[in-house]
Amino acid sequence: MSNISEKAVVSPKAKIGRNVTIYPFVYIDDDVEIGDDCVIYPYVSIMNGTRMGCKNRVFQNTVLGAEPQDFNYNGDASKLIIGNENIFRENVVINRATFADGQTVIGDRNFFMEGVHISHDTKVKNYCTFGYGTKVAGDCEISNGVIFSSGVIVNPNVRVGGGSMVTSGVRISKDVPPFIVATHNPVKYGGINRNMLEGFGTPENIIGHVANAYRLVYHGQTSLFDAIHQIKDQVPDGKEIRIILEFLEGTKIGIIDKM
């Protein structure tokens, strides 16, 4: 059984899981699926195309599955896919995809603070934190364990690598590599994210390898192409180094600059 307020507007076509709590003045559209043990607080709107997993908490005035703010949108029945155990605080807006064959995707155990906006077709993986008022444009990719401080703006088509941190008020138009700190405006490389690496349980020698890889990228007098080859030649192989190399080799818009 679920606890659904009589003052909530829940379409009879929506699929509501077990032990879901829906407070007064919630609006849930026809083509919506909500998994078990979710809590939906007052004045939330969950729109067509939203698929939500289990144990999510959605706070007041949040809109999930909002139509994309994209001039290419023509009314397609697109999707927003949400995993499990996410927290969406007040006034969060997440748009579904622009086209029917696309998806906006939110993984598991992410925390969206007040006023966050995630735009169409963006993919967020797991264990990310989005600080107050952070705005992420369309077609971005956010990897595992990223931390955005408050007021960050991420422009379209940007990738943010796993284990990175973006400090308050930063505006990003290029890719942010894994395991680093992005800071200042214009945004610059601010060193490796040692605290995150240590939090992951990364051994000290591996942290040193990560630091050496980024010395070659950001402190060498060479191109990114050459830096990638230097990393392969000079830095011992390992999981973290392979993640860095794969990210650098995959960039289409370039990476953020050095200090």
Query: Tell me: the pLDDT tens digits for 220-246?
Result: 889 999 999 999 999 999 999 999 999
Structure-token pair, residue 164 = 């990175």
| Residue 30 buriedness (CB in 10 A; 0-12 / 13-18 / 19+) | exposed
Q: Specify the pLDDT at position 2.
A: 82
Q: What is the pLDDT of residue 119?
A: 98
Is the pLDDT reported for residue 28 higher than 90? Answer: yes
pLDDT at 62: 98
Count CB atoms within 10 A of the CB of residue 126. Answer: 19
How confident is the model over 77-128, as pLDDT tens digits?
999 999 999 999 999 999 999 999 999 999 999 999 999 999 999 999 999 9
Provide the 10 A C-beta neighbour count for residue 101: 9
Cα 152 to its chain centre, rounded Å, is 12
pLDDT at 168: 98
Helix extents (H) in 150-203? 194-199
The overall average pLDDT reported for the chain is 97
Query: What does the alpha-carbon distance between residue 224 and residue 253 come to, in Å, rounded to a whole number?
Result: 12
Mean pLDDT of 56-78: 97
Nearby residues of 194 by Cβ (< 8 Å), 6 or more positions away: 207
pTM metric for this prediction:
0.96
Confidence of residue 197 (pLDDT cuts 50, 70, 90): very high
pLDDT computed for residue 258 by the predictor:
86
Q: What is the pLDDT of residue 182?
A: 98
Average pLDDT over residues 21-28: 98
pLDDT band at 5 (very low <50, low <70, confident <90, very high): very high
Whether the ω angle into residue 186 lies within 30 degrees of 0, i.e. cis, is yes
Tell me what the mean pLDDT of segment 169-197 comes to: 97
What is the strand order of the sheet 129-130 is part of?
Answer: 3-4, 21-22, 39-40, 57-58, 87-88, 111-112, 129-130, 147-148, 165-166, 180-183, 188-192
Distance CA 228, CA 237 (A): 13
pLDDT at 37: 98
The residues that bridge with 93 in the sheet, in sequence order, are 63, 117
Which residue's entry shows tokens 């077709």? 121
Distance, CA of 97 to chain centre: 15
What is the Cα–Cα distance from 160 to 228, expressed in whole angstroms? 18
With b meaning 16 or more CB within 10 Å and e meaning fewer, what string describes 203-237?
eeebbebbebbbbbbbeeeeeeeebbebbeeebee
Does residue 1 have a pLDDT over 70?
Answer: no
Tell me which H or E stretch contains 204.
Answer: helix 204-218
